[in-house]
Amino acid sequence: MRVTTGMIYDSGVGQMQRQNAQLLDTQKQVATGRRILRPSDDPVASARALEISQSKSVNNLYAANQGYASDALKLVDSKLDAANEIVTYVRTRAVESGNGVYTASEQASIGADLAEQFSALLGIANSQDSTGEYVFGGYSSNIQPFTGGLAGGVGYQGDQGERTLQISASRNLPITSSGDEIFNAIRAPAGSAFALAGAGNTGAAQVSGSSLSAAYNGHSYAVSVGAGPTYQVFDSTADPAHASPIAPTVTTSGTSTTLAFGGVSLTLSGAPASGDSFSVSTVSSTFDVLGNFVNALKSGNAAAIRFNGTQTIAGMDASQENVSRVRSGVGSRMVEVETQQNINGNLDLQFNEALSRLEDVDYAEAVSNLTQQRTFLQAAQQSFLKVSNLSLFNYLG
């Protein structure tokens, strides 16, 4: 076979370029710490590493959601703790109001204090998170859930939904609670009901007593005051048979009277105004019970203060039970988040270890290869230099 000078040069240059390329790859492995620089280096390992990287990214998203969930639950817990403190304080003041030696001005002073607590509790019920969303509004997080105040009563504008975050592939965790179940669903003790004056009443009448007989069916009743005054009582319980309130069950008159209807005996004290209203129900709102008590304290009506004080104690007990139940659920979810965070941390460690086995370079092997390849390159360069100097002209004298 004839070997030309061009072939010698091409072969030598090609060999040095291959040696240079191998040396460069090894240098990159040492510099980056990665064995696989391109998919062609190890197609199987590259495909597996891609799958693990995707799983790791999803796991990181769940970890972020777990952090958000933990923050949200801690906020809810702190707000419920504050609400519980206010409810406990109101109950203490309600017990204090039963002191028979207190004067009307002292009772009014307690009323002024509890009016401030009413506003504080309303502020907690309308709490917002760092993004401006209302914590206790359900799904309607952009709408203030509780509107109104002591004078006209408090209404709920939210819904019963619970916002959730996905903290794992199979778990959507509730991170909020509906304000309706916390503040609007307090139940009277067994065998009793809440008897309340309407928050917007303009007359001086207060509920000063109520009792239930065995004939009481657990329904809710609304008492409407007309001119005279006259009283009309409606069964306001949701009943599929009645799309609207049924006909009045009682019509009577008088400025201080006891009304009897549906197994309920309701005593009013003071002069009502036309348009005033009263209600009897086994379920009420924390704000309605507290607001009713504040108005009774300010009225100076001793009988109404005693009755509403006892009723408020029962209402605050029921409110504490609601708060404690919801808070217990929040605490359980916080433990669940912490457990899931531990699981995610272990998974992340496993993913990192798997990626390290697939992609990380063995430094001892890489440095050995680097030294060897450098030697090969130097040998190729020296041999090329020797061969390229072979010429007849070197031997002509």
Rounded distance, CA 28 to CA 45, Å? 18
Q: What is the dihedral of CA 320, 325, 331, 332, to 10 degrees?
A: 170
167: left (phi over 0), alpha (psi -120 to 50) or beta: alpha
Residue 49, pLDDT score:
74
What radius of gyration, in Å, describes the C-alpha atoms of the chain? 40
Query: Rounded mean pLDDT of the chain?
Result: 84
Residue 101, pLDDT score:
86
Rounded distance, CA 371 to CA 281, Å? 89
Least confident segment among 26-40, 66-80, 329-343 = 26-40
- Name the DSSP letter for residue 177: -
Instruction: Choose between 374 and 393: higher pLDDT.
Output: 374
Percent of the chain with pLDDT over 70: 77
162: left (phi over 0), alpha (psi -120 to 50) or beta: beta
Rounded distance, CA 150 to CA 160, Å? 24
| Mean pLDDT within 230-247 | 71
Chain Cα centroid distance, residue 357: 40
Mark out the alpha helices in the chain (DSSP H runs): 5-32, 43-97, 104-125, 179-183, 286-299, 302-359, 363-388
If one counts every other C-beta atom within 10 angstroms of the C-beta of residue 80, the result is 24
Tokens for 343, please give them. 């699981």
Residue 316, pLDDT score:
96
Residue 239, pLDDT score:
58
Residue 52, pLDDT score:
80
Q: Tell me: the pLDDT tens digits for 267-293? A: 999 889 999 999 999 999 999 999 999
Rounded distance, CA 270 to CA 293, Å? 15
Residue 384, pLDDT score:
64
61: left (phi over 0), alpha (psi -120 to 50) or beta: alpha
Q: Above 90 in pLDDT, residue 332?
A: yes
CB 311 within 8 A of CB 206: no
Long-range CB contact pairs, 289-292, < 8 A, 24+:
289/186, 289/194, 289/196, 289/315, 289/316, 289/319, 290/90, 290/114, 290/117, 290/118, 290/121, 290/315, 290/316, 291/118, 291/150, 291/153, 291/154, 291/199, 292/196, 292/197, 292/199, 292/207
Instruction: Choose between 313 and 254: higher pLDDT.
Output: 313
Confidence of residue 330 (pLDDT cuts 50, 70, 90): very high
Residue 229, pLDDT score:
87
Residue 240, pLDDT score:
54
- Name the DSSP letter for residue 128: B
Rounded distance, CA 334 to CA 331, Å? 5
Rounded distance, CA 252 to CA 259, Å? 8
Instruction: Report pTM.
Output: 0.79
Least confident segment among 76-80, 167-171, 244-248 = 244-248
Residue 145, pLDDT score:
95
Q: Tell me: the pLDDT tens digits for 176-227? A: 989 999 999 999 998 899 999 998 899 999 999 999 998 888 889 999 999 8
Least confident segment among 133-147, 303-317, 347-361 = 347-361
Residue 253, pLDDT score:
76
Percent of the chain with pLDDT over 90: 50
Within a 13 Å sphere around the CA of 9, how many CA atoms are in the beta-carbon half? 4
Q: Above 60 in pLDDT, residue 264?
A: yes
Q: Could you tell me which residues are beta bridge partners of residue 156?
A: 146
Judged by DSSP in three states, 360 sits in strand
Q: Tell me: the pLDDT tens digits for 46-92? A: 778 788 888 888 889 999 999 999 999 999 999 999 999 999 999 99
Q: Above 90 in pLDDT, residue 312?
A: yes
Rounded distance, CA 236 to CA 243, Å? 10
Residue 85, pLDDT score:
97
Confidence of residue 352 (pLDDT cuts 50, 70, 90): confident
